[in-house]
Structure 1
Amino acid sequence: MSYGRRDDVANVGSFAFERGGELDLDVAYAEYGERENPTVLVCHALTGSQYVAGPAPEGVSGQAAGWWDALVGPGKPIDTRAYHVVCANVPGSCYGTTGPASEGPDGEPYGPDFPSVTVGDWTRSQARLLDELGVETLYAVVGGSVGGMNAIDWAKRYPERVERVAAIATSPRLDAQCLGLNTAARRAITNDPDYGDGDYYGGPEPSGGLAVARRIGHAMYLSKASMRDRFGRRVAERQPEERTDPSAKGFPYRDVASYLDYNAERFTERFDANSYLYLLRALDEYDLAEDYNSDAEALADYAGDALVVSFTGDWHFPVEGGETIAEAFEAGPAAVSHRVVESEYGHDAFLVEPDRVGPPVRTLLERGANAVTTTRTRDTTPDYPRVCTGLLPDA
């Protein structure tokens, strides 16, 4: 299938970060479809890339490539024949937009000198990119997970520039349990002997700590039911490359451990540890109501259409969080639909069950939020086969 993708990097000039610091910012992005068509901005999740559909260039491997391939493309819910689709890598990441691993003015990587990053910085950098592309109004902004926070932040910051918002598997803020687990993930990285003060470029990288952090993340993305069905207590077919835990002598290597180990190993090959720290911090600190008295006040100026999609098995971004977002939109002039999807997959459902996400997104784009049904019955649309074979994608 031809996606007609164009990859580029735009320099948006001097960029002042919300928590302090300023630098010359490059924003890497991918475009699909023709610019004269209505523009849909797609916001990627925590460790995603701008390559939302189709194959990615060399160096962008695993689930960072084509992560929503079932939703974006010719004839798909976000139809690249009808829409001009843009997806931009966020500041602080490591897929082409300026981040800690990027070369600074002194010719060395920024490392720990990179400014602190917020979801608001992501939104503002995307707005600057769209200015460069000559896009004044977004037909829609669509995002899942922290990309969903990015999407609702658009409705908060630029309500006059957005006609439709789809916030999928997201919340207005993280709860204490997720904040605690993300804290443990960061500690795993910063306590790695190879991390030092974060200036590890050119030497050993803190891959051990990053791998532990990613194991924690993957456990957060799955529900109890999905882990039971996917792994249970089964013994793994493969053996670990090395096993230094003395307590493991005489005991089996289980399937769930194999899954977490394999994904952690692959992740360290494609992602930067500092970037993971910066992006996790942006996720943790996002609060829709920041600088406002309530979530509803933050979204009071948005008068477009809003779709919120939640999954019953998602304890990372639970249904209650989606309901809070929907109620905040409903308090203002927006047209709102909150689709609650019965699913046991956990947070990963927004990626691995495109048949649950595609139909409401298509309806939002073609007919508006009021046309989206809010039934809790599972969709059975045959056009989007469940993607659950092999390894589950990264959120």
Structure 2
Amino acid sequence: PTAGWWGALVGPGRALDTDRWFVVAPNVLGGCQGSTGPASRRPGGKAWGSAFPRLTQRDQVRAEVGLADALGIGRWALVIGGSMGGMRALEWAVGEPRRVGALLLLACPAAAGAEQIAWASAQLHAIRADPHWRGGDYHDAGPGRGPHTGLGIARRIAHVTYRSAGELQSRFGHEAQEGEHPWRGGRYRVESYLDHQAAKLVRRFDAASYVALVEAMNTHDIGRGRGGTRAALGRVRARTVVAGVDSDHLYPLVQQAELAAGIPSADGVRVVRSPYGHDGFLLETEQVGGLVRELLAGAPDQPGRRTGVEPA
């Protein structure tokens, strides 16, 4: 176990100050670490596998609304999220506008774009082409029988989209991995890096959950059934900051500009300066922390009422 992402953001005296606020961070529905997902057991004892229902971001937020109700939280002081978490944060503010006091959207779009769906498609094909995928019904096949090779390939593809070309070049360039020769079966340093990222994910994540969450991201469209994007964004009542990463080529700044233009309380796009590409929203905690503090500075403490902050 590690401190996880945003460890520098959450805690006593930090931007998400746990001396002042309750912080609620639910694991997403469809995941494999705490919530119900394809690996979970259904009535009768078998894993859900391929019978697990197709989910949208809106479905996942409905589950979070149920959680907030169960906890007795009628209104969030702040809902914050980046990437897929930003999609869910936006769904909160549009679908439950009276329950969101402030909103921080990081490196996310109003709807999944064609290029994002294309990258996702390559990842899904990699997993489903693995002979151990078995149509999604591999969980009861025995230890080590899952589509681990396909999941690793999907992770390699995804990780290239998370980082910037400049960062990869400056870190790895055209260099061979130490002690290896690419012309004689060895690897370049960047290949070793991607292998490491793939191995880490395969050890801790379920391929069917990966598929469920990627497909849920593909469905994201805040205007679906709401009269279009502009009408949906106009429903947001929360004080809002929209931010993007200047080197992000997966969810570029033009997508955050669309959000800022449509949300009544948003004042343009805040730019997080980072060489790290899309992952900058996770790594640039000092800059993100400044945005959090700005939003929470205007949030009154409400003794006697259950309030909190949800990092989606």
Structure 1: which 5+ residue stretches go unaligned?
A: 1-60, 241-247, 369-395
Structure 1 length-normalised TM: 0.72
Paired position in structure 2 for 1:76: 14
Asked whether the equivalents of residues 236 and 254 of structure 1 are also in contact (C-alpha less than 8 Å), the reply is yes
- Inter-partner Cα distance in structure 2 for 1:127 and 1:239: 52
Paired position in structure 2 for 1:161: 99
Asked whether the equivalents of residues 306 and 337 of structure 1 are also in contact (C-alpha less than 8 Å), the reply is no
Q: Does 1:293 align with 2:231?
A: no
Paired position in structure 2 for 1:135: 73
Structure 2 length-normalised TM: 0.91
CA 183–335 in structure 1, closer or farther in 2 if over 3 Å, else same: closer
Paired position in structure 2 for 1:216: 157
Paired position in structure 2 for 1:192: 130
Q: CA deviation at 1:335?
A: 4.9
Which portions of structure 1, spanning 4 or more consecutive aligned residues, are displaced by more than 4 angstroms? none
Paired position in structure 1 for 2:244: 310
Paired position in structure 1 for 2:146: 205
Find the residue that maps to 1:309 and give its secondary structure: strand
Superposed CA RMSD in Å reads 1.6
- Inter-partner Cα distance in structure 2 for 1:238 and 1:201: 38
Find the residue that maps to 1:84 and give its secondary structure: coil
Find the residue that maps to 1:282 and give its secondary structure: helix
Asked whether the equivalents of residues 195 and 206 of structure 1 are also in contact (C-alpha less than 8 Å), the reply is yes
> 2:280 is aligned with what amino acid?
A
Count of residues in Structure 1 that have an aligned counterpart in Structure 2: 296
Paired position in structure 2 for 1:56: none
Q: CA deviation at 1:187?
A: 0.5
Find the residue that maps to 1:85 and give its secondary structure: coil
**Deviations 1:100-134 (Å, cap 9, x if unpaired)?**
00010111110110000111111111110010001
Paired position in structure 2 for 1:352: 283
- Inter-partner Cα distance in structure 1 for 2:269 and 2:82: 14
- Inter-partner Cα distance in structure 2 for 1:150 and 1:336: 21
Asked whether the equivalents of residues 46 and 140 of structure 2 are also in contact (C-alpha less than 8 Å), the reply is no
**Deviations 1:15-34 (Å, cap 9, x if unpaired)?**
xxxxxxxxxxxxxxxxxxxx
> 1:328 is aligned with what amino acid?
G
* The one of 237, 252, 255 aligned to 1:321: 255
Higher strand content, 1 or 2: 1
Q: CA deviation at 1:174?
A: 2.4
* The one of 195, 198, 215 aligned to 1:281: 215
Asked whether the equivalents of residues 57 and 216 of structure 2 are also in contact (C-alpha less than 8 Å), the reply is yes
Paired position in structure 2 for 1:234: 175
Paired position in structure 1 for 2:52: 114
Give the share of equivalent positions with the same residue, in percent. 38
Structure 2: which 5+ residue stretches go unaligned?
A: 300-312
Asked whether the equivalents of residues 304 and 335 of structure 1 are also in contact (C-alpha less than 8 Å), the reply is no
Which has the bigger relative contact order, CA under 8 A and spacing at least 6?
2
Paired position in structure 2 for 1:123: 61
Paired position in structure 2 for 1:340: 271
